[in-house]
Copies of this chain bind each other. A is one copy, B any other.
Amino acid sequence: MYFKQEKIKYEGSKSLNPFAFKYYNAEELVLGKPMKEHLKFSMAYWHTISAQGTDMFGEATMQRHWDQGVEGIERAKIRVKVAFEFMEKMGLEYFCFHDADIAPVGETIEETNANLDIIVDEIEKEMKRTGIKLLWGTANAFSNKRYVNGASTSPNADVFAYAAAQVKKAMEITKRLNGSGYVFWGGREGYETLLNTDMALEQDNLARFLKLAVDYAKEIDFKGQFYIEPKPKEPTKHQYDFDAATAVSFLRKYNLNKNFKLNLETNHATLATHTMQHEVRYAADNGMLGSIDANQGDLLLGWDTDQFPTDIYESTLIMYEVLRYGGLTTGGLNFDARVRRPSFKEEDLMLAHIAGMDTYAAGLRIAAKLWEDQVLEKNLASRYASYKTGIGKKIVDGQVGFKELDAYVKGKKELDKNEPGRQEVLESILNQYIIG
């Protein structure tokens, strides 16, 4: 047993016990479905198990007694135990990982793959034992110095090849562990300066790479959903999957849009100067809403802080969009969030996940009420009613052109009056739903 705390329980909103859920009650029905099915929380292996609390100006701060005195594959094995104990105690039914999170990277790919096989055995056992599932897998093709100039967009073809070999293995592992998805986040797929970049070739190569991945999935009969995870910048000055729209544009250009959905992250949305609600709506409207990396950024800072989500406005609006979309299917809510560097104790991992899970549970409850009451939807229906009849219907049905519209305008004594947008009122109503 690595954590001294027992399994975290739901104690309700008045609880003063820091090691209890105040809002997340896994089996409680919301809109006829248990909360845990709406929310499908996932642990991010990299932040919760591997990360040590370094930042650009400071060394590791995290205190992890289980890491002491062990190295390499032995440490990796222990971490598997830690991870599953943690997920069990937190009631997290899913996890996500990069290849490099779970097993030591070797000198050669053969060695790395051998390490992976050993650890995947361990993970598989734990998955069977606990029933915990893999939300998605991925390959870390950005940390190794090999990828300094990009992976599939490297100017060095050998690096493209290496990334292919690495993703091949990561896909195989993901399939073996029955992952419901596989993510591509291109941390180095972009450029530092256009002065030295053939963007056209690089983007073509990125598309080639993704096509090879699609081909290989067929070859090995991997049926998981592929996702692109947009991020505008950091570590790279400009990343090709800047935001949802840019990723969709890219996928459409290369006819890959049927094969991919989006894995959207809150902090990436705001780095691109979008609200996360916008990104989710955009993906949903384009049929490409896949999965969510549930974290939050600091809008007054310009980098990816990956904080645990605690903003109820954000969780409410995100869950509202998810409900409106009919729920995520293959996707879930992955805590791509790291405990703050000064939250260095083991118990802080639990406390931070409680914060995140409660925030989304509260958001779900509020969003469900908003949805049940159809407050926003009724307002929309009435606001856009003019497109249901008359000239509006003709516009939507394609029955009028500029000439007819010109004649319509000229023939009218007075145009229909505009109605106010009511932003302040809608924000007030949202507050009533939030604070009760």
Contacts and interface: CB of A to CB of B under 8 A. Distances in A.
Given A215-B402, A249-B245, A403-B168, A418 B57 contact: no
Interface stretch (A64-72, A81-89, A230-238, A326-334): A230-238
A32 interface: no
Task: Kindly name the residue among A195, A235, A281 whose own CB sees the greatest number of chain B CB atoms within 10 A.
Answer: A195
Interface string A342-356: 111100100110111
23 contacts: A13-B435, A22-B428, A53-B145, A56-B234, A57-B143, A58-B148, A157-B395, A159-B418, A162-B409, A193-B423, A194-B317, A195-B376, A199-B282, A200-B285, A203-B285, A205-B387, A208-B395, A212-B402, A238-B278, A243-B245, A308-B424, A342-B423, A355-B428
Given A245-B246, A406-B168, A425-B351, A235 B398 contact: no
Task: Kindly name the residue among A165, A242, A342, A384 whose own CB sees the greatest number of chain B CB atoms within 10 A.
Answer: A342
The 9 A-B residue pairs with the shortest CB-CB distance, nearest first, are A302-B302, A157-B392, A249-B249, A342-B421, A164-B405, A299-B299, A245-B246, A310-B427, A157-B386
Contact of A418 (B148, B213, B308, B427): B148
Contacts of A212: 401-402, 405
B156 A418 contact: yes
Contacts of A342: 148-149, 192, 418, 420-421, 423
A29 interface: no
B421 A234 contact: no
A421 to B, nearest CB: 3
A426 B157 contact: no
Contact of A358 (B13, B57, B422, B428): B428
Given A58-B148, A192-B341, A351-B424, 11 more contacts: A56-B303, A57-B142, A59-B144, A158-B415, A159-B415, A193-B426, A198-B384, A203-B285, A245-B249, A348-B420, A358-B428
A364 interface: no
A431 B300 contact: no
Interface stretch (A35-43, A258-266, A269-277): A269-277
A313 B112 CA distance: 46
A18 interface: yes
A161 B298 contact: no
A384 B348 contact: no
Contacts of A256: none
A412 interface: yes
A427 B195 contact: yes
Q: Say what secondary structure dominates the interface of chain A.
A: helix
A286 interface: yes
Interface in A389-403: 390-392, 395-396, 398, 401-403
Contacts of A157: 386-387, 390-392, 395, 416
A352 B194 CA distance: 18
Contact of A401 (B57, B146, B215, B434): B215
Interface string A125-155: 0000000000000000011111111000011
Interface residues of A, number: 158
A167 B405 CA distance: 11
Task: Kindly name the residue among A168, A398, A423 whose own CB sees the greatest number of chain B CB atoms within 10 A.
Answer: A423
B158 A13 contact: no
A159 B419 CA distance: 12
Interface in A175-205: 187-188, 192-201, 203-205
A61 interface: yes
A362 interface: yes
A109 interface: yes
A351 B199 CA distance: 25
Interface in A211-267: 212-213, 215-216, 219, 232-235, 237-238, 242-243, 245-246, 248-250, 252-253
